[in-house]
Amino acid sequence: MEQFAIADVDRASASHRVVIVGGGFGGLYAAKTLGRFKHIKTTLIDKRNFHLFQPLLYQVATGKLSPGDISSPLRAILSHYRNVTVLMDEVKDIEPEQHQVIVQTGTVPYDTLVVATGVSHHYFGNEQWAEVAPGLKTVEDAIEMRRRIFRAFEVAEKETDPEKRRAWLTFVVVGGGPTGVELAGALGDLAHHALKHDFRSIDTRETRILLLEGVDRILPPYPPELSALAAKSLEHLGVTVQTQSFVIGITEDTVTVRRDDQTETIPAKTVLWAAGVRASGMSKVLADRAGATLDRAGRVIVNPDLSVPGQPDIFVVGDLAHYAHQDNQPLPGVAPVAMQQGAYVAKLIQRRLQGQELPPFHYSDGGSLAVIGQNAAVANLGRLKLSGFPAWLIWVFVHIYYLIEFDNKLIVMIQWFWNYFSRKGGSRLITQEKSPLNPSELGGKIG
Amino acid sequence: MEQFAIADVDRASASHRVVIVGGGFGGLYAAKTLGRFKHIKTTLIDKRNFHLFQPLLYQVATGKLSPGDISSPLRAILSHYRNVTVLMDEVKDIEPEQHQVIVQTGTVPYDTLVVATGVSHHYFGNEQWAEVAPGLKTVEDAIEMRRRIFRAFEVAEKETDPEKRRAWLTFVVVGGGPTGVELAGALGDLAHHALKHDFRSIDTRETRILLLEGVDRILPPYPPELSALAAKSLEHLGVTVQTQSFVIGITEDTVTVRRDDQTETIPAKTVLWAAGVRASGMSKVLADRAGATLDRAGRVIVNPDLSVPGQPDIFVVGDLAHYAHQDNQPLPGVAPVAMQQGAYVAKLIQRRLQGQELPPFHYSDGGSLAVIGQNAAVANLGRLKLSGFPAWLIWVFVHIYYLIEFDNKLIVMIQWFWNYFSRKGGSRLITQEKSPLNPSELGGKIG
């Protein structure tokens, strides 16, 4: 194994070396903040070469935006911080005693380590469902969802058997959290607006969209009145919201749901998974190597300063961190928490080098927003609760504000502006399959 | 095999049925023109659900635009022509006696057939090169090129062996036609502008870009003075133009070139193929079933009215047609020829139904344009020959004008405008590979 020239240079100088693993919101905001402290040498390691604006990934899955619209090259974002190095590689292990991480092609030494590798979706022990009910975490996931959604309409258009056609026009979204609500709303928009003039044999407005949630209301972290308003908006878009429903089986043709001890099997060709997340593999490495304690979802239980108990030089930020020192319940896995944690840890590292400390991390909650279709949303801004068009407008501006690069911001804003009037969805490409219309191939994993 | 409900409806009415195979420029312009003749029922069959603006595909390959920026859903483009049906399917065969085409899932009857399936790239009998030197015809091709280009810089950044690093920073473009020139220019832009601040171990301005052409100058269809100006612009961007050079071998590590009876083997990890095209599979079907005569590249030799000799009901338009009734040499395989041919055939069909005829097809040549990097191009507008910035401006406006949907036009224009000032290239995602940085995997077919 070789050590990188970059690392050698760092070691030669006396400056403090920070290694950040993961270029999501947590890692990126840590890197950007550390970039301002020129005496700290930061290396950001990610297996992808771009930061993904995950809150808008459902818009890629439903053909409204292109992957490039919500992605920014990490190198471009960080290029003007000359003390920050980006390394495209995959971290395989951590060696806390040697103060180094093992990547695919060598080792990288650190003085302080920040782990921000996030979560992936999770099938609660039914991992075989992954093939028939894709989740939504990566660009590739979104393209796979997009392919399945638009292919379903194409196959339905050609199907002459009414029952089979019905199954192709039935979409089931599993999970009534923000992602599930946003996916179901976007599907409603597609079926009732964007696609309504595009087919000749089917009427896309007859599409059945089912949103399944296990507890008694959708958007459970929101106040009940906003959950009710969200459900109403969804129904207005043709989405059937079904709560207290548990998925007990998924095949390539059906979804089986249990509700009040009744079991129903629904013929449906397209099932989208938005039901659960699990910590990324780094949490197990932290448990094995650094003695970290994990919660049920595999997240790392952290100290009030976001360090791993017993490891003052290792921090965990973002979705991977279980931070329960505020309001006695873990902070939600949302972008603002990750951004604030990343920036906090960066400042703490800088303070410690000056022999100072910072008060414990405190999440400043600006509110939560979930969008339902083209011009409705719910916003929980503390005492102010909004829904409908005003909430949607806030949602649009908040998201544009945070889209990291100026060009992305501008493009996405114009795309939205145009979509709002045209409702066409220009990015609904079916890609990545040589023979996209052979229904017998639909079951298997398609590259 | 079943016949579609769509086709049954058509048959019931007495209207003329046109089937178009292929939704590129030729097929799409035929469909749009036929859409205006309400008594003609048109079915456009394509295996993809979108029209691709191929002249800009090299910008996707080099990370400037997203696939969605240069693609438009066929259904959306044609939705307001209620007499036009889009069928996403693959044509397997043609039965001229029965007047029907065989698709994957049934048969589609026609009165008039228009074949516009274009060409794909071609390795002159060295099909094994496809794995190490990808061509550029589909969105997937462009994403594969993009992945290889940006991964090469990433691997070079980590490589400590100077010779290997040099090989990762050597890009060879095979073929000095418009696509090769545009690819090489865009690579020069990337290396010398977009990426120059993004790496810490390598200086991207040391990238070696080699453009190989077999004949004695690049852009052979252009006047010699424009070829010379194009070569000069490319060299300004760090591209080495090497003419009278023949590729005789490509491996995952090298390109072997013969020039003046000398053979040179160049270590290069990234080879991009822009050297040749071959007719799509439909030409062989037309030869077998309709007695069509093919030229050396497999294109169908057509009558002055673009019909297949002996088959007055079958037309071939676009790149697949060999049309030599003008100036005694076949028309070039460019978008304006295909558009004009598609529209011509549509009008001819309409005229014939009225018992009238049209004069033979005549290509009205508005000129040719090829772009070299960010703000240089060459334009051959008959007597007016332009190069540099004025030619680039014309190129920008012509391409925006033809980008088919308004939203795409606007987005692409803004993206260009922004790229022109920032030169960042926001869409340079490396996608579709689980483990993108293991050099041992580079040889095989990925993704």
pLDDT tens digits, A218-227: 999 899 999 9
Mean pLDDT in residue range B148-167: 96
Q: How confident is the model at residue B427 (pLDDT cuts 50, 70, 90)?
A: low
Which residue in the list B154, B182, B213, B225 is annotated as catalytic?
A: B182
User: Hey, are the CB atoms on B429 and A49 less than 8 Å from each other?
Assistant: yes
Q: How confident is the model at residue B447 (pLDDT cuts 50, 70, 90)?
A: very low
For residue B161, the chain A residues in CB contact (below 8 A) are none
Range scoring the smallest mean pLDDT among A11-20, A211-220, A279-288, B389-398? A11-20
A62: pLDDT strictly greater than 60: yes
pLDDT of the residue at A419:
59
Residue-wise pLDDT tens digits, B66-108: 888 888 889 988 999 999 999 999 999 999 999 999 999 899 9
pLDDT of the residue at B374:
72
Mean pLDDT in residue range A157-174: 97
For residue B69, the chain A residues in CB contact (below 8 A) are 66, 68
B420: pLDDT strictly greater than 90: no
Mean pLDDT in residue range A122-132: 92
Q: How confident is the model at residue A7 (pLDDT cuts 50, 70, 90)?
A: very low
Mean pLDDT in residue range A223-237: 94
pLDDT of the residue at B407:
54
Q: What CA–CA distance (Å, rounded) separates B32 from B9?
A: 21
Mean pLDDT in residue range B202-227: 95
B141: region left, alpha or beta (phi > 0 left; psi from -120 to 50 alpha): alpha
Mean pLDDT in residue range B382-409: 77
B109: pLDDT strictly greater than 90: yes
Mean pLDDT in residue range A112-122: 95
pLDDT of the residue at B411:
65
Residue-wise pLDDT tens digits, B33-67: 999 999 999 999 999 999 998 988 999 999 888 88
Mean pLDDT in residue range B192-208: 94
A5-47+89-121+278-353 CATH fold = FAD/NAD(P)-binding domain (3.50.50)
B446: pLDDT strictly greater than 80: no
Q: What is the 3-state secondary structure (H, E, C) of chain B?
A: CCECHHHHHHHHCCCEEEEEECCCHHHHHHHHHHHCCCCEEEEEEECCCEEECHHHHHHHHCCCCCHHHHEEEHHHHHCCCCCEEEEECCEEEEECCCCEEEECCEEEECCEEEECCCEEECCCCCHHHHHCCCCCCCHHHHHHHHHHHHHHHHHHHHCCCHHHHHHHCEEEEECCCHHHHHHHHHHHHHHHHHCCCCCCCCCHHHCEEEEECCCCCCCCCCCHHHHHHHHHHHHHCCEEEECCCEEEEECCCEEEEEECCEEEEEECCEEEECCCEEECCHHHHHHHHHCCCECCCCCEECCCCCEECCEEEEEECHHHEECCCCCCCCCCCCHHHHHHHHHHHHHHHHHHHCCCCCCCCCCCCCCEEEECCCCCEEEEECCEEEEHHHHHHHHHHHHHHHCCCHHHHHHHHHHHHHHHHHCCCCCCCCCCCCCCCCHHHCCCCCC
Range scoring the smallest mean pLDDT among A242-251, A411-420, B229-238? A411-420
Q: How confident is the model at residue A362 (pLDDT cuts 50, 70, 90)?
A: very high
Range scoring the smallest mean pLDDT among A17-26, B6-15, B143-152? B6-15
- Does the CB of B417 have a partner CB in chain A at under 8 Å? no
User: What residue in A sits closest to B440 (Cα-Cα)?
Assistant: A105
Mean pLDDT in residue range B414-424: 60
For residue A106, the chain B residues in CB contact (below 8 A) are 158
pLDDT of the residue at A381:
86
| Closest Cβ opposite residue A430 in set B48, B69, B415 | B48
- Write phi, then psi, for A375 (nearest 5 degrees): -140, 40
A42: pLDDT strictly greater than 90: yes
pLDDT of the residue at A391:
87
Percent of chain B with pLDDT over 90: 70
pLDDT of the residue at B425:
53
Mean pLDDT in residue range B299-319: 97
User: Hey, are the CB atoms on A65 and B68 less than 8 Å from each other?
Assistant: yes
CATH number assigned to the domain with residue range A127-274+374-441, chosen from the 4 options 1.20.1440.230, 3.40.50.11540, 3.20.20.140, 3.50.50.100: 3.50.50.100
Q: What is the mean pLDDT of chain B?
A: 88
- Does the CB of B276 have a partner CB in chain A at under 8 Å? no
A187: pLDDT strictly greater than 90: yes
ipTM of the complex: 0.86
A383: pLDDT strictly greater than 90: no
B434: pLDDT strictly greater than 50: no
Tally C-beta pairs within 8 A across A and B. Answer: 197
> Domain ranges in chain B?
5-47+89-121+278-353, 127-274+374-441
Q: What is the mean pLDDT of chain A?
A: 88
pLDDT of the residue at B390:
87
User: Hey, are the CB atoms on B436 and A47 less than 8 Å from each other?
Assistant: yes
Residue-wise pLDDT tens digits, A239-267: 999 999 999 999 999 999 999 999 999 99
pLDDT of the residue at A158:
94
User: What residue in B sits closest to A154 (Cα-Cα)?
Assistant: B88
User: Do B5-47+89-121+278-353 and B127-274+374-441 agree at the fold level?
Assistant: yes
Q: How confident is the model at residue B357 (pLDDT cuts 50, 70, 90)?
A: very high
User: Hey, are the CB atoms on B76 and A419 less than 8 Å from each other?
Assistant: no
- Does the CB of B407 have a partner CB in chain A at under 8 Å? yes
